[in-house]
Amino acid sequence: MNILILNAGSSSLKFSLFAFPSGRRLARGVIERIGEGESPVHIFYDQHRAEYRESVTDHREALEYLERLLPRLGILERFDSLSAVGHRVVHGGERFVEPTRIDEEVIEAIRSLVPLAPLHNPANLLGIEAMRALAPGVPQVAVFDTAFHRTVPPEGYRYAVPDEWYERYGVRRYGFHGISHAYVSREYARLRDVTLKNINMITLHLGNGASACAVAGGESVATSMGMTPLEGLVMGTRSGDLDPGIHFYMHRYVGLDPAQIDRILNHESGLKGLCGTNDMREIERRMGEGDPAAKRAFDIFVRRLIRYVGGYAALLGRLDAIVFTGGIGEHSAAVREAVAEGLGILGVRIDGEANRSSDTGSRPIHAAKSAVELWVIPTDEERQIARETYRLLS
């Protein structure tokens, strides 16, 4: 049973191909800069790497190109031979709290949620509609980033705003990165050979987008992103938590309109707004050269993390593990060390040598005397989507 997983961005298309029930990954790849003239194509399969450049104007052309290329590489005969296609969809609102078989009604419902995720859901729909046109007989499944957080209680997802805002307009916390938080929490339990039901942990997905999640017994009970992915931690280009009054101040006294404020908070804030770059590697390099702006950005990023982890530890009542994942979480020893040092009051102690190891796989990085385990676990959202798709259809 071969399952193709698609993660469509506004100008990119990531894919992975899995064989089930073994769960073996047969191939993965990405087509970048769709619609920008010449699109780089990267494919990894059977320990081989193939790279091409192709003129791809939209997501349907990207998939048509893959349908021609994959047979040439001996990876897949044709899309019609697939058992299923799983799609990552960022926002499922309150309606979609489980993986869902895609039909016209589901597509229209995802489209109705575009105002809640205007940067993501339209791109996800492009991949869905293109694949349905190319392989209409193949079952398609949507797996939602928001679904893992369906277990957050009302006191965790409701905002202190008039009831009408929630009842009529859906103003509430939804949370995101759920596919990643679900994967790394389950992977931790597998690696430790423990039952998730007995574990309280905090998972930190740290990349250009960043979020924290408190997981009790395998279920999300609190998460940092809100109604949109803008709330919470400091991110690459997003501000994270912000006094709402700042929006009105910048509109009334500076003259920025809502669209400008939205663009700045999503694309020109966060690490980039603080020091001119959203690349943590560059920030750490500049810190080493004594750059005060880079140091300030790093410190603000870490302080926000410490505040969230400390708060979530109090909500959980007992904290067994902290898991770092995402580009920064997996690769920045400096961030992990600074966070661990800031959580000393919780008995957190890091093993410096293990933390600085060049190993890129899953590994513990806590000291023997640490009261809380610290782990680095690379996320694999495509594998989690494939598992959910297989589980639904079988």
Show which residues are catalytic: 145
Q: Per the structure block, which two tokens stand in for 255?
A: 């003259």
Please list, in sequence order, all residues whose beta carbon lies within 8 angstroms of the beta carbon of residue 338, skipping any fewer than 6 positions away: 298, 302
Contact 204, 151 (CB under 8 A): no
Q: How far is 55 from 5, CA to CA, in rounded Å?
A: 23
Please give the Cα distance from 327 to 84 (Å, whole number). Answer: 29
Q: Which two tokens stand for residue 64?
A: 């048509």
